[in-house]
Amino acid sequence: MPDLSLVTMLFIGVNLDFFVILLFLLQKYRFRDNFIGYELGMLIVFAISALAGQLIQTVIPTWAIGFLGLLPIYMGIKGENEDEDDQSKSASHRGIIAVLTMYLASCGADNIAVYVPVLATMTTTAILITMVYFIVLTAVSLTLASFFGQIPIIKRIFERWGSPLSRLIYILIGLFVMFDTGLIQFIINLF
């Protein structure tokens, strides 16, 4: 049985920054799309950490993961140009992909780096229990973000400034990922 207090602190510590991003994503995409994208992102990161974390860290240099930062930068620059009548499955898939991409780009490398040492010490049963627990914690954090996003003053701020703020945050997240993984320093060192 995993130490639930350690696992809870681990989850909160590595996902706290994404909680703020969720406030923006919930204003832009449906709850269902956010739920699917966030859960998929968390499961992908967890699976990589549990199954191949050590291999990935030895095969792919950390700085190379920084190229994921280009995805949110692109999303921030491009913005959303949706047609009003494009509320079909493709719009839903776009929301899921956007949330998944934001999670992987903003949390992927950091979460893997933190999860691997903890998961490496667990039994297979403890890892499975932890995975189920993370699924529950992901749903709880999304629900809390949805609740906070409905508070009138927060909702008004997002209605007025949500789009430009979210674009700015996407760009800042991309730059942070590129700096945090050492990609920028790697590029500077090439010259």
Contacts (Cβ under 8 Å, ≥6 apart) of 113: 57, 62
Rounded to the nearest 10 degrees, the angle between the axes of helix 89-120 and helix 152-180 is 60
Within a 13 Å sphere around the CA of 188, how many CA atoms are in the beta-carbon half? 6
Residues 64-118: tens digit of each pLDDT: 777 777 877 877 787 654 444 445 556 668 889 988 988 888 777 767 767 776 7
| Joined tokens for residue 148 | 């906070």
Contacts (Cβ under 8 Å, ≥6 apart) of 5: none
d(C-alpha 149, C-alpha 170), whole Å = 18
Rounded to the nearest 10 degrees, the angle between the axes of helix 152-180 and helix 124-149 is 130
What domain range is 163 assigned to?
Answer: 4-190
What type of residue is 109? A
- Comparing C-alpha atoms, which of 100, 74, 97, 96 is closest to residue 171? 74
**pLDDT reported for residue 80:** 53
CA angle 175/135/37 to nearest 5° reads 45
| Joined tokens for residue 6 | 């350690």
**pLDDT reported for residue 161:** 76
**pLDDT reported for residue 188:** 94
d(C-alpha 133, C-alpha 16), whole Å = 16
Contacts (Cβ under 8 Å, ≥6 apart) of 29: 37, 95, 96, 98, 99
**pLDDT reported for residue 2:** 76
Residues 1-55: tens digit of each pLDDT: 777 887 888 788 778 778 888 888 888 889 999 999 999 999 998 988 887 545 5
**pLDDT reported for residue 83:** 43
Residues 105-154: tens digit of each pLDDT: 877 776 776 777 677 767 788 889 999 999 999 999 999 989 988 888 87
115 neighbors 45 (Cβ within 8 angstroms): yes
DSSP structure class, residue 151 = S
**pLDDT reported for residue 129:** 93
**Mean pLDDT, rounded, for 159-174:** 74
For residue 156, pLDDT beyond 90: no
Q: Quote the number of domains for the chain.
A: 1
Residues 55-64: tens digit of each pLDDT: 555 676 777 7
| Joined tokens for residue 170 | 């996407």
